[in-house]
Chain A
Amino acid sequence: ILNVEQSPQSLHVQEGDSTNFTCSFPSSNFYALHWYRWETAKSPEALFVMTLNGDEKKKGRISATLNTKEGYSYLYIKGSQPEDSATYLCAFPAYSGAGSYQLTFGKGTKLSVIP
């Protein structure tokens, strides 16, 4: 069983504040690391798929970094807005011995942005 950990579990920030949270994953047999945003009553939506050590990806005010050697990724949100309130999931893909593809998810970080 792969261990994907996210911290903190939940986070409350004021509108305009910048914030970040962490995903740790196995550093061996690395293929990629996914970040998803899951708003209440909606479908999880992919933010980033990161594959290269040292990679940094950006989408608007949200960015993510990746360290595959030590097994962690940070997600940053600059100038948080109420619409950023969601649960942010990271997921670690792997292939089983039979060749089947599987994503192992962390429990997520629930972000609440207070207006």
Chain B
Amino acid sequence: GAVVSQHPSRVICKSGTSVKIECRSLDFQATTMFWYRQFPKQSLMLMATSNEGSKATYEQGVEKDKFLINHASLTLSTLTVTSAHPEDSSFYICSARDDITGGGEKLFFGSGTQLSVL
């Protein structure tokens, strides 16, 4: 089955540093990838849609200058949390659809990144 690899799985950093999270589709092409964030006891909330070769689409309330998304190839999207602060501490997870099969629109997920900003 389709596999999405996400790294790192856990990051602890100091306030003010930037953190990059990678999301790779290992055995399929993904023109579109999705970045979600989950706070404790809340649902997965879509932050942005990452589009290969073009600008990401951000959801309302998500700062594009804070959460930089780059989707430079059909298998790799990165999310950079710039100048992270404690309120950015959260669980971040990426997902993708298979361009070829569509997969019935189901998403394939990475395993997530737990970000803790001190």
Contacts and interface: CB of A to CB of B under 8 A. Distances in A.
Nearest to A93: B105
A43 B105 contact: no
Interface in B90-118: 93, 95, 97, 103-112
A62 interface: no
B109 A108 contact: no
Contacts, number: 55
A45 B110 CA distance: 10
A43 B110 CA distance: 5
Contacts of A104: 46
B32 A105 contact: no
A113 interface: no
Contact of A43 (B4, B97, B106): B4
Contacts of A101: 32, 49, 97, 105
Interface in A1-46: 4, 31-32, 34, 36, 41-46
Interface residues of B, number: 26
A102 B45 CA distance: 10
Interface residues of A, number: 24
Interface in A71-115: 89, 93, 98, 100-108
Contact of B106 (A49, A102, A107, A108): A49
Instruction: Indicate the member of B6, B44, B46, B108 with the most A CB atoms within 10 Å.
Output: B44
Interface of B: 4, 6, 32, 34, 36, 41-46, 49, 57, 93, 95, 97, 103-112
14 contacts: A31-B105, A32-B105, A34-B105, A34-B106, A36-B109, A43-B109, A89-B43, A89-B44, A100-B57, A101-B32, A102-B46, A102-B49, A103-B34, A108-B43
